[in-house]
Structure 1
Amino acid sequence: MPETYPTVVVLTALPVEYDAVRAHIEVLDDDEIVLGDGTRLERGRLPGTPWTVAIAELGEGALTAAALTTRIVSELHPEALLFVGVAGGLKDDLEIGDVVVGTKVYAIHGGKEAADGFLARPEAWHGSHRLLQAARSALRGLDGVRGHRKPLACGDVVLADERSALRGRIQRTYNDAYAIEMEGSGASHAAHLSGQLDALVIRGISDLADAQKADADAGGSQELAAAQAAKVAVAVLRKHRPRVPASVSSDTEEGPRYGGDHIDFRGSTFNGTVIGKIAGRP
């Protein structure tokens, strides 16, 4: 039987986030996956690892992320899923370009409006222990990145006022949240419902969720934050290992060497489709 290599899906919302991730992946020529609902992903490999990587740009919002993540997971059956992109910082010790690896993701809009105010009814999804451990190890030796392993707040809102009622409510109710973003809860919920899928949200800080957000964006902060988040995501995948080694054909004496560049993907299968050639460096 042909060798089968494990799959990781990396999801993004914005073009700048997608481009930052794609820069690290050896994408096959014209190898675009089109799902039944029209969702498109590009497929390639991360050099020096056993991973086949499928990347997608989903658009903004938790509902979109939840729906499309569910479809992607059901069709591609990945071992791991990362959502990688930018976020607004909520803590004074954060700087633009820092990266927050989500130990958990809060959905911040659930609650009840009562006579005595808004009563929060939080939901939260924890990041995969295996991926968080890989992140801890990766961040120790990653030059040029200030990394934080902290909770994230997720809501369908762009926060651009540090004095807003929402900012105050997040500070009171989700006081440990380090950054706010828009898709992590949807992707995390879909991963949770799928069963044993390892999932993690990684966000680069592109603004400080304040009135200077537009100026920061205009100055290239999103490009910087997306690049830093992608760098961390790649470092995590270099540390992360598949649960089960790749299956090996009967005439092969040993499987792929996970630590080097000796992986030959020729004859591999992906979702039932034979790949013509995805080869490691000679």
Structure 2
Amino acid sequence: MPETEPIAVVLTALPVEYDAVRALLESLDEVVLDDGTRLEQGRLSGTGWTVALAELGEGALTTAALTTRIVSELTPECLLFVGVAGGLKDDLRLGDVVVGTKVYAVHGGKQTPEGFLARPESWHGSHRLVQAARSALRDLDGVRAHRKPIACGDVVLADERSAVRDHIRRTYNDAYAIEMEGSGASHAAHLGGRLDALVIRGISDLADAGKGAADAEGSQELAAGQAAKVAVAVLRKHAPRPRSTSGTQEEPRPGSGAGAGAGSGSGSGSGGDTINFQGGTYYGPVVGKITRHN
């Protein structure tokens, strides 16, 4: 694959999530990284994206480590974590999709004699991708979607009266869904620098004692399929960044005071010496020194 092709990485934890996204891609080829991590790369029709799809397994720690590796190897423009989650709010239905405006890591804190003191960590969804989701969801039929925060913890929640559920309700009251991997992916994307990232989760249960029955009736397949539809719709709206004539990604231009861009500039010396910037690109003031050699 040419290095100049824009890549969107889509990560999943479970086979049902992976299969839902895979069904929407074309021309798939397997890619094996140096450490043995396997992905499939394919095309998303009607877009400029090459999509690299991976199934990482469960848990935030594994997700963070493998996401870091994948981002380092593939240098994608954007990253989506797509899968299923438990719903935390009464207005949610099975098959609804939550687009994560924020991801909370819910287990950080300090236990004291006075009780548990939360020490929250959170990561905001990429502004570009959240905006793309807002636009895409206006035209997407058959999906009930919510742009809300998502809670992430290393726990499968199947009891609406549990201490964990009560902790989330009191400390992360605006969270709409709970899952296990979003914080790992979000943190790895944050450490990767200029990488747009977003967590998209379909509601497969209501984080209560009915989870097992819902899963047995196919709720995970329904939720994963709906989340995959939203992920693809977001990528269709979120076009790759423009490429320069040399095939490399162009940096966004700053606003006023950013310099002249490509072209020619001059530095005045006592003899009218010039510095030629033709064919170059620069941002901000340019500082230099002219040295004459006799």
**TM-score, normalising length from structure 2?**
0.82
The letter of the residue matching 1:147 is A
Q: Secondary structure at the match of 1:63?
A: helix
Asked if 1:22 is matched to 2:22, the reply is yes
Query: How far did 1:37 drift?
Result: 1.0
Structure 1 gap segments, 5+ residues each: 250-282
Distance 1:133 1:121 in 2: 29
Query: How far did 1:32 drift?
Result: 1.0
* Pairing partner for 2:154 from 150, 153, 156: 156
Query: How far did 1:245 drift?
Result: 3.1
1:226 maps to: 224
Deviation by residue 1:241-277 (Cα, 9 ceiling, x = unmatched)? 122237577xxxxxxxxxxxxxxxxxxxxxxxxxxxx
1:5 maps to: 5
The letter of the residue matching 1:91 is K
1:255 maps to: none
2:69 maps to: 71
* Match runs of 1:70-89 below 5 Å: 70-89=68-87
Asked if 1:170 is matched to 2:168, the reply is yes
2:95 maps to: 97
Query: How far did 1:5 drift?
Result: 1.7
Query: How far did 1:52 drift?
Result: 0.5
1:144 maps to: 142
Query: How far did 1:117 drift?
Result: 1.0
* Pairing partner for 2:107 from 100, 106, 109: 109
Query: How far did 1:3 drift?
Result: 8.4
Query: How far did 1:146 drift?
Result: 0.3
Query: How far did 1:14 drift?
Result: 0.1
Q: Secondary structure at the match of 2:51?
A: strand
Change in Cα spacing, 1:3 to 1:75, as seen in structure 2 (3 Å) is: closer
Distance 2:35 2:104 in 1: 28
- The count of residues paired between Structure 1 and Structure 2 equals 246
Q: Secondary structure at the match of 1:124?
A: strand
Distance 2:108 2:187 in 1: 14
Q: Secondary structure at the match of 1:93?
A: coil
Q: Secondary structure at the match of 1:201?
A: strand
Q: Secondary structure at the match of 1:53?
A: strand
Deviation by residue 1:42-82 (Cα, 9 ceiling, x = unmatched)? 00100000000100000000000000000000000000000
Q: Please tell me whether the aligned partners of residues 84 and 201 of structure 1 are also in contact (alpha carbons under 8 angstroms).
A: yes
Asked if 1:209 is matched to 2:213, the reply is no
RMSD over aligned Cα atoms: 1.2
2:125 maps to: 127
Q: Please tell me whether the aligned partners of residues 4 and 248 of structure 1 are also in contact (alpha carbons under 8 angstroms).
A: no
The letter of the residue matching 1:195 is G
Distance 1:137 1:169 in 2: 33
Distance 1:51 1:136 in 2: 20
The letter of the residue matching 2:230 is V
Asked if 1:185 is matched to 2:183, the reply is yes
More contact order relative to length (CA 8 Å, sep ≥ 6)? 1
Q: Please tell me whether the aligned partners of residues 3 and 248 of structure 1 are also in contact (alpha carbons under 8 angstroms).
A: no
Change in Cα spacing, 1:205 to 1:246, as seen in structure 2 (3 Å) is: farther
Query: How far did 1:93 drift?
Result: 0.3
Q: Please tell me whether the aligned partners of residues 6 and 246 of structure 1 are also in contact (alpha carbons under 8 angstroms).
A: no
Deviation by residue 1:87-106 (Cα, 9 ceiling, x = unmatched)? 00000000000000000000
Distance 2:36 2:105 in 1: 28
Distance 2:142 2:88 in 1: 21
1:265 maps to: none
**TM-score, normalising length from structure 1?**
0.85
Change in Cα spacing, 1:248 to 1:124, as seen in structure 2 (3 Å) is: same
The letter of the residue matching 2:86 is G
Q: Secondary structure at the match of 1:20?
A: helix
Distance 2:3 2:52 in 1: 18
Q: Secondary structure at the match of 2:54?
A: strand
Change in Cα spacing, 1:134 to 1:246, as seen in structure 2 (3 Å) is: farther
Structure 2 gap segments, 5+ residues each: 248-294
